[in-house]
Chains A and B, each alone.
Chain A
Amino acid sequence: MASFVPNESNSTLNGQQKVMYAKNSSGEFNRVNYGSSAEEFATLNAVNEYKELENEALIEIKNSISSPIKYFMYKNRMDLPTLCGFVNMFGFRVKRHLKMKYFLKLDDKILEKYAKAFDITLLELKSFKND
């Protein structure tokens, strides 16, 4: 019996197709192209979740609760442990820097680390405002 191979569109692949192993009618496995809309939905959900977190951060920045670091973290699709890895600091410290109150007191040396992790200039990070 041959395998069922999904042939749906998946916009997240930019027109490419991936391959999977499937049985042909004589029972041998071959590599075949497939497209999965379930995969597409799951990927887009993850992309949109980051967008939503980004937007929530923007509102929090406006209300002086969160710092621009939080916005750039989500914009770069990072979670806390990933950002910690890039700036080489402990989680509790980075978590503190996500708050506007502590962010305003940070010196340039530390801010530079974050700017580097986000691939932006120090000025871009320092002058980031959401009005």
Chain B
Amino acid sequence: MINDFKHSQYAHCESGVVSSMLTNSGLKISEPMAFGLTSTLSFAFFPIVKVNGMPLIAYRAIPKNIINKIEKSLKIKLFKKSFRNMLEANLELDKALENGKLVGLQTSVFYLPYMPSDMRFHFNAHNLLVYGKIEKNYQISDPVFENIVECSQKDLIKARFAKGVFSPKGFMYYVDKLPKNIEFETILKKAIRKNAKSMLTVFPYAGVRGMRKLVSHIEKLQEKDERYIKNYLTHIVRMQEEIGTGGGGFRYLYAAFLKEAIKYNLDVDKLNKASELLTLSGDTLRNFALKCVESAKKIERFNPKEISDILIEASNYEEKAFKILKSI
């Protein structure tokens, strides 16, 4: 157990755990840095892949992206392991804790007893940090909570071995080796350019184009029944707010990252301009969410064009921002 462990609350679980884990291990990496260095900002709309009967809409790259990419970009060595056997998974976790490691776990929100009941859905890619164990209870730093929490061994096993999409299979990770010196300037340039490329991809279901693809589907909603429209609109908002942290949460996170990158000798004008544009996109996405909720509340006032225009506006800001960043 690490005695001087310091819990902080973060905007998002995976970037939060990685930031907290590295910072508490002696390498200070802020949450925006963990998010930006791994080129995690994204938009994906996959109407064929269904989540609770609704199309998959993601505002960030797939789960584990931050964990895997942070290793590569900073040359950190993480110990990572998935399990088939619950008993083995538990022993390995306890062993790591005894060795003083901070252990990241992938879990299902549904089985974590400290989660408010309205938040408990079968979302399998929630990350948390275990920093100790007292008798049969694990001490947990869950990045989206204000304070540290506890979870019994029995419940944690359930959460680690939940089934369904993104099933965690007991996945755990901790810092094995930290790099000596990090060339932030080169790494940052590469990460920013990479993210710009993925946001400007020609693939019609991702990045800026993915946002516009969603627009065309919102416009088709009118043919559906009330219940479906209501579920669809709130689904968009849930993917954006609950998992996307406060309106355009991921956009603000990336905008904060660009501001922080200025320190490392990168083009100040370009970073400032792009950060400004992504903040605008975040604000616009929040308006978009408000309009979706308003329409879901009063379906007779549902005006697809009005909602779609806001999303198009956000996509325009992002296109401009990433065109600038592509040349950093």
Q: Which residues of A contact B (CB under 8 A)?
A: 3-4, 6, 11-14, 16-23, 27-29, 31, 34, 36, 38-39, 41-47, 49, 76-79, 81-82, 85-86, 88
* Given A12-B118, A12-B119, A46-B234, A81 contacting B165 (CB threshold 8 A): yes
* Given A13-B116, A43-B118, A81-B165: A31 and B146 interface contact (C-beta under 8 Å): no
Q: Are B146 and A17 in contact, CB atoms less than 8 angstroms apart?
A: yes
Q: How far is the CA of A85 from the CA of B32 in the complex (A)?
A: 34
Beta-carbon contact of A42 and B238 below 8 Å = yes
> Does B104 interact with chain A (Cβ within 8 Å)?
no
Contact A41 B293, CB 8 Å, known A20-B252, A46-B238, A85-B164: yes
Contact residue among A12, A36, A49, A85 (Cβ-Cβ distance under 8 Å from B167):
A85
Chain A residues with Cβ under 8 A from B165's Cβ? 81-82, 85
State A18–B255 Cα separation when bound (angstroms). Answer: 19
Q: Which residues of the other chain, B, contact A4 by a CB distance below 8 angstroms?
A: 283
**Nearest residue in A to B272 (C-beta to C-beta)?**
A27
Contact (Cβ within 8 A) B52 A79: yes
- Residues on B with C-beta less than 8 A from A76 are 110
Contact of A86 among B11, B50, B53, B163 (CB under 8 A): B163
**Is residue B120 within 8 Å, beta carbon to beta carbon, of the partner chain?**
yes
Select the residue from A28, A43, A82 with max chain B CB neighbours within 10 A. A82
Cross-interface CB contact of A81 among B164, B238, B290, cutoff 8 Å: B164
For A27, the closest partner residue in chain B by CB is B259
Q: Please, how many angstroms separate the alpha-carbon atoms of A21 and B296 in the complex?
A: 27
Chain B residues near A (Cβ < 8 Å): 9-11, 31-32, 50-53, 110, 116, 118-122, 144-146, 163-165, 167, 230-231, 234-235, 237-238, 241-242, 245-247, 249, 252-253, 255-256, 259-260, 279, 283, 286, 289-290, 292-293, 296-297
Collect the chain B residues with CB atoms within 8 Å of residue A22's CB.
252
Q: Measured between alpha carbons, how far is A34 from B180 in the docked complex, in Å?
A: 38
Q: Chain B binding site: helix, strand, loop or mixed by DSSP?
A: helix
Closest B residue to A47 by beta carbon equals B118
B163 A45 Cβ-Cβ under 8 A: no
Q: Which residues of A contact B256 (CB under 8 A)?
A: 21, 29
| Chain A contacts for B260, CB-based, 8 A | 29
Interchain Cβ contacts under 8 Å between A and B, 25 examples: A11-B118, A12-B118, A14-B116, A18-B144, A20-B245, A20-B247, A38-B292, A41-B237, A42-B241, A42-B289, A43-B242, A45-B296, A46-B234, A49-B231, A76-B110, A78-B164, A79-B50, A79-B51, A81-B50, A81-B164, A81-B165, A82-B122, A85-B163, A85-B165, A86-B164
A42 & B110 in contact (Cβ 8 Å cutoff):
no
Shortest Cβ distance from residue B167 to the other chain A in the assembled complex, whole angstroms = 6
A77 touches B241 (CB 8 A): no
A28 partner, pick from B116, B259, B292, beta carbons under 8 A: B259
Question: Would B237 and A39 count as touching, CB distance under 8 A?
Answer: yes
Q: Would A20 and B119 count as touching, CB distance under 8 A?
A: no
* Nearest B residue (CB) for A44: B118
* B11–A19 CB distance below 8 A: yes
- A28 to chain B: closest residue by CB: B259
Contact between A12 and B116 (Cβ–Cβ < 8 Å)?
Answer: yes
Chain B residues positioned under 8 Å from A44 (CB to CB): 118
| A3 CB contacts on chain B under 8 angstroms | 252, 279, 283
A86 and B167 CA atoms in complex are apart in Å by 10
Complex CA distance for A14 and B114, rounded to whole angstroms: 10
Question: Which residues on the B side are within 8 Å of A20 (C-beta)?
Answer: 11, 245-247, 249, 252
4 nearest A-B pairs in the assembled complex, by CB-CB distance: A85-B163, A20-B246, A29-B256, A82-B164
| Contact present for A29 and B164 (CB under 8 Å) | no
Q: List B contacts of A19 (CB < 8 A).
A: 9-11, 245-246
Question: Complex: how many Å from CA A85 to CA B242?
Answer: 24
Closest to B121 in A: A77
Q: Does B231 lie within 8 Å of A45, measured CB to CB?
A: yes
B241 CB contact (under 8 Å) in A38, A81, A88 = A38
